[in-house]
Amino acid sequence: MKKIVILHSDISPDAAEDELDCLQQAEAIARALRILDYKPILLPFELDLNQTIIKLKSLKPQAVFNIVETLASKGSLIYFAPALLDSLRLSYTGCDTQAVFQTSNKPLSKKIMRDACVSTPDWIEHDGFGSQKDNAKTYLIKSSWEHASIGLDEDSLISYTSKAKILKEISRRKEKLGGSCYAEAYIDGREFNVALISGKAGVKVLPIAEMLFQDYAPDKLKIVDYRAKWVADSFEYNNTIRKFNFQKNDTGLITSLREIALRCWNLFSLRGYARVDFRVDNNGKPWVLEINSNPCLSPDAGFAAALEQAKIKYHDAIGLIIDNALKSRG
């Protein structure tokens, strides 16, 4: 059997749910690989890079399935994994080092999108740099590197009175948000996720999902925050639901979301699989929030739900991702 190393974040047993999810992904991918007649080998990506290098060289896998999200629990080191795999000349799944770095650094990805005329909400960085074209009245303080909605909650919403106030809030919250954060203009409206996967005929846009904030009070902030993703007994978790069916009057919007997601795929040279997250304002204009070059592959997560809607079996999708990795290395 051909060996596939599943390279995952090195996670302690007492880690929070958002980190433990990486291990659940690894187990699901391993099951899929066995169906495809591969031999999966789980390997944690350790801060001692020499140990990881020694293990990878001794295993000599046909490819590496890279689902590393953090190194030493830091999202800012996510690009170390593809960088190391590039140096070892190993085939690996998903995006390459440059794409992972550019998309995981959210303020950087916003700069690239603005330069390419892809609409993304205004923002302010910790050093005062940013773009304020639309006179937004409220901002969300968000982590620059951490994913999984780390540190995002209702208290993240700040009224804009001055840039100085925003910068003070950024500084005050930076430790909670992984050491680096920024403020992003809040777009009041609808939220969508667009998953993409490399198929045999090129990139395929999977059925688009809208996140519905069911039974939220009128004054309750409607965002997919940490509780909505990870706290299973919370109101937010149980009332933030996904839908894939749309009315005819949404046809134009869905077409626009598909086109913009593909533009982002090409702009950042994405490969394998990815997800683009949008907010759509009350005038129907889409705004790209972020590009996730390493989206969650847990069977109960959004990517797997989109695969199911597309009638693509989970293990077949894993096969497509492996095939793309082998093709990319050539």
pLDDT digits (tens, 9 = 90+) for 233-244: 899 999 999 999
pLDDT (0 to 100) of residue 148: 62
Q: What sections of 226-299 are H helices per DSSP? A: 226-230, 235-239, 251-267
Mean pLDDT, residues 221-238 taken together: 89
- Report yes or no: 42 and 66 within 8 Å, Cβ to Cβ: no
pLDDT (0 to 100) of residue 256: 98
Q: Is beta strand 123-125 parallel, antiparallel or unpaired with respect to 181-185?
A: antiparallel
- Report yes or no: 323 and 153 within 8 Å, Cβ to Cβ: no
The tokens for 152 are 């995002």
Cβ neighbours, 10 Å, residue 324 = 22
* Cα 129 to Cα 112: distance, rounded to the nearest angstrom: 14
Residue 43 has pLDDT above 80, yes or no: yes
pLDDT classification of 92: cutoffs 50, 70, 90 = very high
For residue 239, count CB atoms less than 10 angstroms from its CB and return exposed for 0-12, middle for 13-18, buried for 19 or more: middle
pLDDT (0 to 100) of residue 133: 74
94-98, 143-147, 216-220, 265-269, range with the lowest pLDDT:
143-147
Q: Considering the chain, what is the average pLDDT of its residues?
A: 93
pLDDT classification of 19: cutoffs 50, 70, 90 = confident
N-to-C CA span, the chain: 21
β-partners of residue 311 are none
- Report yes or no: 96 and 86 within 8 Å, Cβ to Cβ: yes
CATH of span 188-329: 3.30.470.20
Instruction: Classify 169 as helix, strand or coil.
Output: helix
Q: Which amino acid is at 22?
A: C
pTM: 0.93
Instruction: Classify 164 as helix, strand or coil.
Output: helix
Alpha carbons within 13 angstroms on the beta-carbon side of residue 180 total 15
- Report yes or no: 211 and 289 within 8 Å, Cβ to Cβ: no
In tens, the pLDDT along 158-195 reads 998 888 888 998 988 887 777 789 999 999 999 999 99
**Overall residue count recorded for the chain in this entry:** 330
pLDDT (0 to 100) of residue 16: 77
pLDDT classification of 329: cutoffs 50, 70, 90 = low
Of 110, 279, 92, the closest CA to residue 191 belongs to 279
Residue 129 has pLDDT above 80, yes or no: no
> What percent of the chain has pLDDT above 90?
74
Mean pLDDT, residues 216-222 taken together: 91
pLDDT (0 to 100) of residue 330: 52
Tokens 């303080």, located at residue: 141
Q: Which amino acid is at 296?
A: C
Across 250-264, b (16+ Cβ under 10 Å) vs e yields beebbeebbebbbbb
In tens, the pLDDT along 193-205 reads 999 999 988 999 9
pLDDT classification of 20: cutoffs 50, 70, 90 = confident
45-59, 117-131, 271-285, range with the lowest pLDDT:
117-131
Q: Which residues contact 289 (CB under 8 A, 6 or more apart)?
A: 120, 121, 184, 277, 278, 279
Q: What sections of the chain are H helices per DSSP? A: 17-35, 49-59, 80-87, 97-104, 106-115, 163-173, 226-230, 235-239, 251-267, 302-309, 314-329
pLDDT (0 to 100) of residue 155: 84
From the options 3.30.110.60, 3.40.50.300, 3.40.50.20, 3.40.50.1220, give the CATH code of 2-94: 3.40.50.20
Residue ranges of the chain that CATH labels 3.30.470.20: 188-329
For residue 37, count CB atoms less than 10 angstroms from its CB and return exposed for 0-12, middle for 13-18, buried for 19 or more: exposed
Residue 255 has pLDDT above 70, yes or no: yes
Residue ranges of the chain that CATH labels 3.40.50.20: 2-94
